[in-house]
Amino acid sequence: MFVVRPARLQDLDGLQALARKTGTGLTTLPDHRPTLEEKIKASIKAFDAPPGVTEQLSYLLILEDLETGKVIGTSALIVGLGLDKPFYSYRLLHVTQVSHEPEMRVDTELMQLTNDFVGATEVATLFLDPDCRIGKLGKLLSKARYLMMAAHPERFSNQVIAEIRGWVDDDHNSPFWEAIGRHFFGMSFKDADEINGRGNSQFIADLMPKFPIYTSLLPDAARAVIGKPHDGARPAIHLLEKEGFRFSGAVDIFDGGPEMEVHKRDIWTARESIETTVGGIVDGERHDPVHLVANPSIDNFRVVLTHVVEGSSGVWLPRKAADALELKEGDVIRYSPVEQPKPTESEE
């Protein structure tokens, strides 16, 4: 049985072992023990905080294999982006200029440094151990965040975004960074990425150009990767799109990766989730679970993959799932389907 739950300080070793497997580009999960410890402490503070979005808070979740106690994945929710320090993006702008003598039209694309996502909620830090990418564990890790948002909507902003890792070559070099960032920062993409991942974004404000950048002046290699995701990020994009996320028209300032957005009321898993009570607990469990089931308590938030059976007095849970969720008969529960129904021919 696998469970998603809030990160604890006892998870630090497991979280760092996981961070070593991420490679370059996942700035929110650096292989830097002091930073990871601070992230766990910040998450504990977030779960203890009163409802409302008045400051930037980070909820860090981990996926635990209950049989081994091993940390095999992590995901996060960051609330109130830009309320404590700048959160920058490049907004893609299109400008058309027309001349009548001679007759000519020029379409130009600009990148403008912006703070458009101030106050938004970000779904972040989604990473599953490559050795454990089986079954529906990736969906459990990703969708657990949406059940938390559904259970506690007052803790999350209406605007929800996701930053996607930008494209890098086989040597982890970013053509986008080489064309822009290196000229202003004087360092490699990997070094800048690590500094940013440790929470120091102020150097961006100090050094990034404040005027629009004409993309036509960039090398072909850089233009080709504006809004292009990392090869390994395509499954994550597919999951986000099925939840309702769409490209926002903005890209990451380091690697040019796409930034996606959705209104929290339009997230499919949250919208389809139901809150009820545990009507009963049964022994045994079917294979191929089809439900995400959460203990929605903010003090003991937990999510598993299992089956539920709806009854007149609530839903019935397998005992193994109830134990993992630390729930008993009569407790509040929130559940949602794992998979979306396939569209009918008239909807395709």
Residues that are catalytic: 230
As a whole number of angstroms, the distance between CA 203 and CA 196 comes to 9
Contacts of 294 (CB under 8 A, 6+ apart): 144, 147, 148, 151, 301, 302, 303, 325, 333, 334, 335
Contacts of 24 (CB under 8 A, 6+ apart): 168, 172, 189, 190, 193
As a whole number of angstroms, the distance between CA 113 and CA 199 comes to 19
As a whole number of angstroms, the distance between CA 265 and CA 161 comes to 13
**Integer angstrom CA distances of residue 129 from 57, 73, 135, 316, 333:** 25, 6, 13, 31, 28
The residues pairing with 291 across neighbouring beta strands, listed in sequence order, are: 306, 337
Read off the tokens for 54. 């008045």
The residues pairing with 106 across neighbouring beta strands, listed in sequence order, are: 97
As a whole number of angstroms, the distance between CA 45 and CA 35 comes to 15
Integer-rounded Cα radius of gyration of the chain:
22
Q: Are 234 and 299 in contact (CB under 8 A)?
A: no
As a whole number of angstroms, the distance between CA 143 and CA 130 comes to 18
Read off the tokens for 50. 């009163």
Query: How many C-alpha atoms does 336 have within 13 Å on its Cβ side?
Result: 26
Name the burial class of residue 13, with classes exposed (0-12), middle (13-18) and buried (19+) by CB atoms within 10 angstroms of its CB.
Answer: exposed
